Structure 1
Amino acid sequence: MPTPVHGVDGLKQLVGVDLGFTPYRTVTQEQITMFADATDDHQWIHVDPEAAKTGPFGTTIAHGFLTLSLVSAMLPEILQVDGISMGVNYGTNRVRFPAPVPVNARIRLGAMIAEVTEVTGGVQVQVNVSIEVEGASKPSMVGEILFRYYH
């Protein structure tokens, strides 16, 4: 169940709040291949299951940037902002990919609102996020992601 927030003032009240985790979702080979097609990144560790069997991960893995891009799809599962005219991705301060996301892995997103600062017309929100593979010992992606929400 997402944390409901009303407007930019509601976002300010969430600084330091752990939003918890999304439900798990499976990363499929079809998603990985479609991302490779969209980005023109067809490295064999992503798109060639036969070659990947003998590679360093024993299977194909998701692109790190595919994992990062899923933040925008998953965050609304734990944070629902209303009372705004628009919300946009603004960028990242820091992103790392400490562990791979193997094909057919189940992943989930965890998030915490780290900072909310005033910008013209609204606020900039730094969300500290992590994506973890079910059963893995360390996260697959950690980052400080920036969003802007406007009145």
Structure 2
Amino acid sequence: MTTTKLTAGALAGIVLLVLPGCSAPPKQALIESADEKCRTITQRFAGDLAYGDGIGADDSPRIRERVTLLQDLAGHARKMPKPETGQAELNDWLTKLDTYAAELRKMSGMMESPQVADLLRAMQAGIALESAKEVGQAAKRFGFKDCTKTDNWEHIAS
């Protein structure tokens, strides 16, 4: 083997050893990854999963899809390496995200029940709106950017 080939092989080995150390710290990686998912959620909630004029039985499939996206986001964040700081804030955000998804599940069940009065549906929609806002506030405390933009997640066209 020539000296050039040996040097190239050694350099390639060093690069492979150094590259894993160049990745973002766990908290930054989690923020970037979750923010990307939040951008998609925000786009979908304003697009194909948007409510029309009010919320009714025909919105139930949209609500279930919203829950699926939120659960995927929470599961994804939980599988990421633990952040070096801010674990309490992350746990708070995840708890609020779980609560929001649970409120949407309740709302979906109400939409499908003919016995539930419009007033109760409206009250549940208000609870979901407050839960969405709390998710955004908790996301901000952890350091997320796109995951803080929850103001329009429960927007109802009027």
TM-score tier by shorter-chain length is: under 0.3
Which of these two proteins has the greater Rg computed from alpha carbons? 2
As a proportion of its length, which structure holds more helix? 2
Using structure 1 for the length normalisation, give the TM-score: 0.26
